[in-house]
Amino acid sequence: MRALTWQGKRKIEYSDVPDPVIQEPTDAIIKVTSTGICGSDLHLYEVLAPFLDPGDVLGHEPMGEVVEVGSELDGLKTGDRVVIPFQIACGRCFMCEQGLQTQCETTQVTDQGMGAALFGYTKLYGQVPGGQAEYLRVPQAQYGPIKIPHGPPDDRFVYLSDVLPTAWQAVEYAAVPKDGTVVVLGLGPIGDMAARIAVHRGLRVIGVDLVPERLERAKIRAVETLNLNDHKDIVNVVRDLTDGRGPDSVIDAVGMEAHGSPVAKVGQQLTGLLPDVVARKLMQTAGVDRLAALYTAIDMVRRGGTISLIGVYGGAADPLPLLVMFDKQVQLRMGQANVRRWADDILPLLGDDDILGVDLFATHHLPLSEGPAAYEMFQKKQDGAVKVLLNP
């Protein structure tokens, strides 16, 4: 089959790879019909090269049709239409029963000290072949796949793999009080969808970004928008809009590649010049993230407010202003989204009314074969790219 494979920093190839096969009785094989490029895929494209090997199959936002099932799968059959969560979870262990599928004790990547295995996401998360491919092997298929009806277009459901539950969890963790205000830093796919969910809940939402197309998309969905390029002191601008206190909650949907943080930028660049074994150790023990967005969130949120951290950070020793956080009584919640925990809450919003605008959420639909160019376009924020869906 053909798939998108990582071959080096900023180098993705559309390659021939082995067809997936059933390895365990709880496996399934799906034919992928749609698969997304995620903002966190750009971390593989740009920053996390030391944790990848040439030929690794990328992608963790797939959906499709079941074409083969293992001998122990009773609830799944060939022909079923399914969305595949980005994490691999068993549904039976202590963590899964707590709704913490990203910490699944069955698939935890214990040799790396990490949580549940993820599709297409580095040695840190199990180096499991991903879903930017024609076919995908799905481990733990007795639990993971979300069955959806035939009929509506893929765009209606594909975001259940990551975007929707990640954005939903971001808003849940933000704990915005009734009639409160939440600021969303970064209006890429996750920030955009988090803003939509917050508006749907009746909250006041202020979105901050520096890409005009992203700001315009949010404005159409009743989000108050601020262009970072027009407001050098964004914290005080937001305070002026929130009775001088700051917002009740801030969602950091940016993560490690925030603008600013020049020292950390140099650190990221230096790791790219080191041998992989040295770079891996450095990134696992040093502070190499660009923390401008997180520092802004800490400064901006009102005293006693909540920060919901959903953007991906990767450094193990990143410095945080703990004195400020303690003094302000900032509450901080974070983590990979627990997809199956939120799926049942989200599905009713994906009916004919399309409350969250998922049908038109993607800015680009491209063949899988154009994936390498799509990565470059998305990374450079060209052509108004916010969300790219690929079709094998």
pLDDT tens digits in sequence order for the chain, 392 residues long: 999 999 998 999 999 999 999 999 999 999 999 999 998 898 888 777 888 999 999 999 999 999 999 999 998 999 999 999 999 999 999 999 999 999 999 999 999 999 999 999 999 999 999 999 999 999 999 999 999 999 999 999 999 999 999 999 999 999 999 999 999 999 999 999 999 999 999 999 999 999 999 999 999 999 999 999 999 899 999 999 999 999 999 999 997 664 444 444 444 444 454 455 545 554 555 444 578 889 999 999 999 999 999 987 766 666 788 889 889 999 999 999 999 999 999 999 999 999 999 999 999 999 999 999 999 999 998 999 999 999 99
What is d(CA 36, CA 204) in angstroms, rounded to the nearest whole number? 29
Give the type of residue at 50.
P
What is d(CA 184, CA 350) in angstroms, rounded to the nearest whole number? 23
Strands (E), 228-373: 249-252, 306-309, 331-334, 364-367
- What's the predicted TM-score (pTM) here? 0.91
**Residue listed under structure tokens 């239409």:** 81
What is d(CA 42, CA 60) in angstroms, rounded to the nearest whole number? 12
Residue 29 makes CB contacts below 8 A (sequence gap 6+) with 20, 21, 22, 66, 67, 68, 69, 135, 136, 137, 138
What is d(CA 195, CA 216) in angstroms, rounded to the nearest whole number? 13
Concatenating the DSSP letter of every residue in 179-238 gives T-EEEEE--SHHHHHHHHHHHHTT-EEEEEES-HHHHHHHHHTT-EEEEGGG-TTHHHHH
Give the type of residue at 212.
P
What is d(CA 207, CA 219) in angstroms, rounded to the nearest whole number? 9
